[in-house]
Amino acid sequence: MVLALVAVQGACHAQDFPLRKPVTLVVGFAAGGAADSAARLIAKKLGENIGQTVVVDNRGGAGGNIAHQFVAKAPADGSVLLFGSVGPLTIAPHIMKVGYDPFKDLAPISGGVNFPNVLVVHQGAGVKDLAGFVAKARKTAGGVDYASTGAGSASHLAGELFNQRAGVDMVHVPYKGGAPALQDLIGERVTSYFAAPPTALPHIETGKLIPLATTGLTRPAYMPNIPTVAEAGYPGFEALNWYAFVAPGKTPEPVLERWNAEIVKVLNDPALGEALKVHGLTPQPTTRAAFAAFMKKEYEQWGKVVKERKISMQ
C-alpha cells in the first residue's frame, strides 16, 4: 500500500513540470536585440504550453559570458534555462578564461534559432560585389577594416574565417555592440561589417549600405537577391549566428528530455515560426544529441580559426 502511494505521488510530481515555481530563461544580452526578441516569443509560448510562468532574465555583459557563468552555477532542477549563443559556447572559451566549461557545466537541450550575417559596406566604399571587395582588400595597404560587435563575437569570427578562406587580411575593429558598429559604418568611419540582417536591412533599402554576401549556406528568404559567400566563390563557407537552449550541467536526464520535447514543440509551431521570421530568425529545433554534435562541430571549427589567425583578447 505504501509503495503504491509512493508510485502515485511520483507520477503526480512528474506532471508538475519542471517544478512548482516559475521557470527562468536567461538571456546574455540586453532587451531589444535578436536574442531577447526570440527568447520572449518562445518563453511566452512555452509558458502557455506547460501551464507555468516562464520569465526572461536579461543578464547582459562580457559578450554573453556573464549569463553563461550564472547558469553554469544555477540550480540544476530544470527551473533555470539558458538561451545560449555561439560566442560564449563555442568561441570565447578559445580566447579567454570564461569561468565555465561549455561541455561539462552546461547541458545541451535543443537548437533554438539561427540567422546568417550579411557582409555590408558603406556606399562610398567603391565596391558592388564580393569579388570587388576582395580585390580592394588585396590592393589596400594594410588591408580594409571591418567592424564587429566585440572580440570573440560571431561577427568577429565571421570576418576571421573570411580572411582565412579568401586569403586577405582585413583589420578587425571591435565595438561594444551592433548599434555603434552600424553607426560608424554608415558614417564611413569603418569600411565593412558582418551585420545581423534585421539591423542592416533598413539601411540596405535606403542605399546607405551595399550588401555583398550572406554567410549561410543558403540565401535567407528575406534576402533572396543577395548571394552567399559560398556562391560568390568560397564553397562551403558558413558562419551562422545561433542561439540554443542549454541547462546547468547536472540537470537530470529526464528533465532535459522533457524540456527538449516542449521546446521542439514550440519551435515547430507555425505561428511562432512566422513571428520569428519577422525578426529574420529561423527556428532550429533539434534532438539533444544533434545539438550536442552541432555545438562540438562549431567549437572545433572556431577553435581552428582562433589558432590559425592567432586571435586573442588583446
Contact indicator for 244, 291 with CB cutoff of 8 Å: yes
pLDDT of 36 over the 70 cut:
yes
Residue-wise pLDDT tens digits, 235-285:
999 999 999 999 999 999 999 999 999 999 999 999 999 999 888 889 999
Residue-wise pLDDT tens digits, 125-182:
999 999 999 999 999 988 899 998 877 888 899 999 999 999 999 999 988 778 889 9
**Cα four-point dihedral sign 136, 186, 156, 201:** negative
pLDDT of 63 over the 70 cut:
yes
Q: Is 18 helix (H, G, I), strand (E, B) or coil?
A: coil
Q: Identity (one letter) of the amino acid at 246?
A: V
Q: What pLDDT does residue 91 have?
A: 92
Q: How do the domains of the chain map onto residue ranges?
A: 22-115+241-309, 118-214
Cα(207)–Cα(187) distance, rounded to whole angstroms?
13
Choice among 7-16, 192-201, 209-218, 261-270 with the minimum mean pLDDT: 7-16
Q: What pLDDT does residue 198 have?
A: 80
pLDDT of 7 over the 80 cut:
no
Query: In the chain, what percentage of residues exceed pLDDT 70?
Result: 93
Q: Identity (one letter) of the amino acid at 164?
A: Q
Average pLDDT of the segment spanning 54-75 = 91
Q: What pLDDT does residue 64 have?
A: 85
Choice among 144-148, 195-199, 209-213, 242-246 with the minimum mean pLDDT: 195-199
Q: What is the mean pLDDT of the chain?
A: 90
CATH number at 22-115+241-309: 3.40.190.150
Class of the CATH domain delimited by 118-214: alpha beta
Under the banding of pLDDT at 50, 70 and 90, the label for residue 17 is: low
Under the banding of pLDDT at 50, 70 and 90, the label for residue 19 is: low
Same fold, 22-115+241-309 and 118-214: yes
Average pLDDT of the segment spanning 80-86 = 95
Cα(36)–Cα(30) distance, rounded to whole angstroms?
7
pLDDT of 8 over the 70 cut:
no
> Phi and psi of 208, rounded to 5°?
-70, -30
Number of H helices, E strands in the chain: 12, 11
Choice among 34-38, 119-123, 213-217, 230-234 with the minimum mean pLDDT: 34-38
Cell numbers given for 261: 520535447
Q: What pLDDT does residue 2 have?
A: 41
Contact indicator for 121, 182 with CB cutoff of 8 Å: no
pLDDT of 24 over the 80 cut:
yes
Greater confidence (15 vs 202) lies with 202
Choice among 6-20, 50-64, 106-120, 184-198 with the minimum mean pLDDT: 6-20
